[in-house]
Amino acid sequence: MSVPFYVSPEQLTRDRADFARKGISRGRSVVVSQSSEGILLVADNPSKALHKISEIYDRIAFAAVGKYNEFENLRVSGIRFSDMRGFSYDRSDVSARSLANAYAQTMGTAFTDALKPLEVELVVAQLGQKLADDEIYKLTFDGSLADEHGYVAIGGQADEISQVMGQSWKSTMSFSKVLKASVEALGSQNNQDQQNFDALRLEVAILDRNKSGRTFRRLTVQQIDTLLKTS
C-alpha cells in the first residue's frame, strides 16, 4: 500500500514563491520614477515588438517584467476594467488605486489557487496635477501591493537598482536627468557597462504633467538619444 504524498501548506507556499521569484529575476528590469515634469518609465528592452510599458488610461501607465504572455493578459484586462469603470461612472472615477486593487486580487488568487503562480511583477502609475499627487503602486506575484514614492524598480536585481537610484534621485529632476539616473541604475546590474544601455536598448515612456487629457507618450529612439545627451 502506497503512502499518499503530502506537502505542508507552508512548504507549498515557499516553493511557489521561490518558483515565481526565479522566473522574475531572469527578466530585464524596469525603473519607474517621479520627476518635476511627470512620471518616467524606463525598461531594459531591446525588442521593438514586445512592450513592457503601456498606457492604461488617460493619466495611468502600466509597466511589467516576467513572462510576456502573462503580463500582457493583465494589461488587456486592466484596460477593459478601466474602460468599463469610466463608461459606467465617470472618467474621473478611474484610478490607479482601484486598478491596482483589482490586479492584487487576480494575482493573489492565481498564487493560491492556480496550477502555478504568475511569474510577473507590475507597476501601476497615475500622474497627478503636482508631484505630491502622483500615485505609484508595485504588485508582486502573490498579490502583495505596495505604495511607492519617488522611484521603484522591478525585475532583475531590483534591490541593487533601487540603491543606485537612491543615491542620485531628487524630486526636482527633469526627465533627462531622471533618464540618465535610471540608465546608470540599470547598468549597475552584475557590473554591466552603462554604455551598453543606449537608446536602441531602452524602452521609454512618460506621463507628461504639462499635458491634459491623455498624458502618456512613448518616446522614439531619437527622442531617447536626445534626452540622454541633454546636459
pLDDT (mean) for 148-161: 94
Q: Which amino acid is at 61?
A: A
H helices present in 169-203, as ranges:
175-186
User: Which segment of 41-50, 96-105, 120-129 scores lowest on mean pLDDT?
Assistant: 41-50
**What mean pLDDT is predicted for residues 15-40?**
94
Residue in 147, 122, 119 with CA at minimum distance from that of residue 56: 122
User: pLDDT by residue (tens digit) across 165-188?
Assistant: 999 999 999 999 999 999 999 988
The whole-number pLDDT of residue 192 equals 56
DSSP lists the bridge partners of residue 152 as 32
Residue 99: pLDDT above 60? yes
Its pTM stands at: 0.92
Identify the band that residue 144 occupies on the pLDDT scale cut at 50, 70 and 90: very high
pLDDT of residue 90: 87
CA 63 – CA 53 distance, rounded (Å): 4
- The pLDDT tens digits of the residues spanning 190-218 come to 555 555 678 889 999 999 999 988 999 99
Task: Tell me which of 198 and 114 has the higher pLDDT.
Answer: 114
Structural fold of domain 14-229 = Glutamine Phosphoribosylpyrophosphate, subunit 1, domain 1 (3.60.20)
Q: Give Cβ neighbours of residue 197 (< 8 Å, ≥ 6 apart).
A: 44, 183, 186, 187
Average confidence score pLDDT of the chain? 91
CB atoms within 10 A of CB 212: 10
Residue pLDDT, tens place only, 42-87: 999 988 889 999 999 999 999 999 999 999 999 999 999 999 999 8
Per DSSP, 211 falls in state: -
Torsion on CA atoms 131, 66, 105, 76, rounded to nearest 10: 80
